[in-house]
Amino acid sequence: MSDAGGWLWLVIDVIFVLALAFALVYGTMQWRARRRNPVQKQATEDATRRLYERGAENERRGSA
């Protein structure tokens, strides 16, 4: 018999759990950094405003 069960347990119960925990911590840090950056928030709002204006302009051109 082989000892594949022990290695599989290590991979599933330790390595995958550590990888998931790292991903959750990294994602949370990125989310908080994005929310706190006022420059990026303003850029996002400006881009959204431009998209709405462009859509309204296209709609006016299409209906005229």
User: pLDDT for 8-47, tens place per residue?
Assistant: 888 888 899 999 999 999 999 988 877 776 666 778 888 8
Cα→Cα distances 40→1, 34, 53, 58, Å: 58, 7, 20, 27
Q: Output the pTM of the full model.
A: 0.49
What is the model's pLDDT at position 44?
A: 82
Q: What angle do CA 49, 53, 55 make, to 5 degrees?
A: 115
What is the model's pLDDT at position 26?
A: 97
Question: What letter does residue 11 receive in the DSSP assignment?
Answer: I
Residue 4 pLDDT more than 60?
A: yes
What is the model's pLDDT at position 31?
A: 86
What is the model's pLDDT at position 41?
A: 72
Q: Mark out the alpha helices in the chain (DSSP H runs).
A: 4-10, 16-36, 38-63
